[in-house]
Structure 1
């Protein structure tokens, strides 16, 4: 599940819940500035954002070229040039092929029974607790950690280390560069050791499949395989945890009337999950940045070669030309247009179908088991877990 790009705007305290963030209005491409003051182009209309994300003239790799300014002052996994998301052209296609078959909708559908069983296991533990309980510690974190660990064949000890490494891989800037560097070096060593072990003793897990596909493909540097494994490990649970926590904050805090239907109707939970993914971003950085390799016309505006372009997916997902209804009116209505919360084009998130399934099953299972679930603290009192590209409740105290 791929992380978003470095933030494109300054966020001031106090932070609003992400469902209350003002996205502004969509319009033609216009000049803007990045947090470091450098110039960029902002693209906000749904069609224009889809074009930028799909057009090969707008790439990622050149953002990390030798003469390019730093994308962020904070070192983290997101800005690793070896990461799949930061590759373009043949290199990107070759790396993506190593993942693609594992994450097709058909492949993910086969995982449904055991993911549902994991949801039930987390709910059993939650039911044994005395309310009020922290839903983050008891559900939104352990569930996606368990899912990605099962897929990767990781043991319980590795699960605990993943939680530690994620703090540094998506650092919010509170860690020093030396601390981040040391943690990421340790993380890379773990991934390299895991790759070597799965080469010697392959299994049915995703890491074995990734290593076999990469070796068969040929020409993939070991550093890129290591980055793929690291990205899969931390991105595979962090985004799902973030989505689930933010969705539950909204549902329990502002839409309690929807809760019973989520538990009684699995199809309704599927529709609501897609709607929530469409409406609630992972973080305040709604822009996915690209580099224009040549002059390109977008929405009637010529964007010059060499420009940095911010494709604002959050605003595009509220474009009234595509989504005419008020955003949160009916959570159970099918979307009127394409949801670009997971991007579009060559860099469309490979883990999108897995994230969708986890969110659907989690919402349905939680509402079915705890129909009287409610917040134990006001929404305004939420303390936020901050990351380089996302945020979600640090704790979510609930009772029933």
Structure 2
């Protein structure tokens, strides 16, 4: 089943993201954000990569006094002090305070512990019996458990963290004042956590962040607070979203791939890369792409873009550009990617947690398929309950049986 990208119908307002049929990539075209602000939409792989890497396009000026409105409501991504919204030397200085914790070598050290967490969660799934909600039991619980361990959040209400994270990425799911209240609580939690770790530092991500910040000139309290909130959200959002959407696709359409993933971790790794490329983290209803603003006149894909213009990088379409990823029939989960996908972005704002998200997804898929090779969806696709009104979309719950 395929439906045009961003299209809905009264009979089926939401469909699995792997069923979206993506538009043919082409030169940048002028369209509009949900709030009506004009935006240049880049869809070809090369053009999207340029938008994400060209220093003439940045995030910070989206919040300049003369900038047109780009948001339909408050959320974490609109904090001007957040790492995502700072550019140039200041961004690099801030990024260095946290990126050493997310190198491939650092991630590899966490692998045995992440495997243990996965096995324990699958034990709990089996103990709960068939059918069971795999979102509550695994796809949401795994990344929250991992980031909580890395930040040493023992004793913290993990459901509350999930509540704040959902509000942090809201577009229309919650009233604006409810989002603002959740963000005030989230920031107060982060401020208190920072104060506690200053008094009692440990071997955790927050303590490491504070140590690095103390050695870096110019890091403000607001930037530290925003970084801690950002780590909580980013630490589990991508894995939860991609894992849930992957299970919908694999269990509904790809039993042969599920069987291979169960046997060989290398196959699970290859499948994870294809899933991250081919199944988007969201549809186009909330936002057409990652936003930048031109700080100088430039050309993208042969189209002149004037300084001050807002530009959107449509990663969903770029990851299906036939000039880069020839599509022949159904998704081949095990075909090597000749060109890295743009799912985690590119350039200075490339996702810090990309390697962690990859590890959680490949290990989670491999161990779940190995332990429960007969896993199947316990209901039709049309009855899946979705997380709506957020910057990402994935199952809110997903009943599986074996």
Partners of 1:91 and 1:216 in 2: CA distance: 14
Which stretches in structure 1 are left out of the alignment for 5+ residues? 1-7
Give the C-alpha shift of residue 386 in structure 1. Answer: 1.9
Q: Could you say which residue in structure 2 is the equivalent of 1:187?
A: 186
Q: Could you say which residue in structure 2 is the equivalent of 1:339?
A: 341
Instruction: Give the direction of change, closer, same or farther, for the CA distance of 1:300–1:31 in structure 2 (3 Å limit).
Output: same
Instruction: Give the direction of change, closer, same or farther, for the CA distance of 1:137–1:12 in structure 2 (3 Å limit).
Output: same
Q: 1:386 aligns with which of 385, 388, 394?
A: 388
Partners of 2:87 and 2:239 in 1: CA distance: 25
Q: Could you say which residue in structure 2 is the equivalent of 1:142?
A: 141
Counterpart of 2:157 in 1: which secondary structure? helix
Q: CA RMSD in A?
A: 1.6
Give the C-alpha shift of residue 387 in structure 1. Answer: 4.4
TM-score (norm 2): 0.94
Counterpart of 1:309 in 2: which secondary structure? strand
8 Å CA contact retained: 1:292, 1:309: yes
- For structure 1, which segment, 225-234 or 163-172, has the greater mean C-alpha deviation from structure 2 after superposition? 163-172
Give the C-alpha shift of residue 167 in structure 1. Answer: 2.5
- For structure 1, which segment, 300-309 or 324-333, has the greater mean C-alpha deviation from structure 2 after superposition? 324-333
- Listed one character per residue, the Cα deviations across residues 237-264 of structure 1 (whole Å, up to 9, x for unaligned) are 1221111000101100111221111110
Partners of 2:329 and 2:102 in 1: CA distance: 29
Counterpart of 2:394 in 1: which secondary structure? strand
Partners of 2:197 and 2:310 in 1: CA distance: 39
8 Å CA contact retained: 2:134, 2:398: yes
Q: Could you say which residue in structure 2 is the equivalent of 1:131?
A: 130
Note if 1:108 corresponds to 2:107: yes
Instruction: Give the direction of change, closer, same or farther, for the CA distance of 1:191–1:10 in structure 2 (3 Å limit).
Output: farther
Give the C-alpha shift of residue 201 in structure 1. Answer: 1.3
8 Å CA contact retained: 2:41, 2:314: yes
Give the C-alpha shift of residue 336 in structure 1. Answer: 2.3
Counterpart of 1:31 in 2: which secondary structure? strand
- For structure 1, which segment, 160-169 or 335-344, has the greater mean C-alpha deviation from structure 2 after superposition? 160-169
TM-score (norm 1): 0.95
Q: Could you say which residue in structure 1 is the equivalent of 2:231?
A: 232
8 Å CA contact retained: 2:173, 2:388: no
Note if 1:267 corresponds to 2:266: yes
Partners of 2:105 and 2:258 in 1: CA distance: 29
Q: How does 1:1-400 map to 2 (within 5 A)?
A: 14-285=13-284, 287-326=289-328, 328-400=330-402
Instruction: Give the direction of change, closer, same or farther, for the CA distance of 1:239–1:206 in structure 2 (3 Å limit).
Output: same
Partners of 1:387 and 1:174 in 2: CA distance: 4
Give the C-alpha shift of residue 297 in structure 1. Answer: 1.4
Aligned residues: 393
